[in-house]
Amino acid sequence: MLVGLFGLVGSLIVSNHMLSICLGVFAFSSFWGIHELFEQRERVRKGWFPANPNRRTHGEGKSQGKKRRGL
């Protein structure tokens, strides 16, 4: 969220038009990404797209959530 705000403020302050446009697009993309995270959570809650059963939770370590594959 802060990155998007910095991009938005930067796009308003910068006098170079191309840099201002790039910062504005970057800020919009950052805000859209935050919006999509909440939308995705809602879609999973409704059951439209099931949660990934193979995804590690925040509490698991790197070695606990991954299966080792032999070569």
Tell me: the pLDDT tens digits for 20-56?
A: 999 999 999 888 888 888 888 888 888 887 777 787 7
Of 54, 6, 50, which is closest to residue 30 (Cα–Cα)?
6
If you search the block for the tokens 């302050």, which residue do you land on?
13
19 pLDDT higher than 90: yes
pTM of structure: 0.55
d(Cα 7, Cα 39) in Å, to the nearest integer?
23
Structural element, H or E, at residue 23: helix 17-46
Q: How far apart are CA 9 and CA 61, in angstroms?
A: 38
